[in-house]
Amino acid sequence: MNELKLQTQILEWVKEEGGYGRKMSHRFLVGIPDLLIRLMPPRSARGVLLVAEVKLHTRDAVLGLNDSPVKTGVTPKQHKELGSFEHSVVLIGFKNKQGRLYALQVCDARFTVVGHDPDFVIPIERNRLTRRLTPLILEKTYG
pLDDT tens digits for range 16-65: 999 999 999 887 888 899 999 999 988 877 889 999 999 998 865 544 44
Q: Mean pLDDT highest for which of 16-20, 44-48, 68-72, 109-113?
A: 16-20
The b-or-e profile of 119-129 (16+ CB within 10 A means b, else e) is: ebbbebeeeeb
CATH number at 13 reads 3.40.1350
- Length in residues, the chain: 143
Instruction: List Cα–Cα distances, 109 to 50, 51, 132, 134, 137, in angstroms.
Output: 11, 10, 20, 16, 11
pLDDT at 135: 92
Other beta carbons less than 10 A from residue 139's beta carbon: 12
Mean pLDDT, rounded, for 121-136: 92
Other beta carbons less than 10 A from residue 24's beta carbon: 15
What's the number of domains the chain is made of? 1
pLDDT at 66: 52
pLDDT at 61: 53
pLDDT at 70: 72
Q: In which domain, by residue range, is 16 found?
A: 3-142
| Residue type present at position 127 | N
Geometric angle at alpha carbon 73, from 129 and 32, rounded to 5°: 90
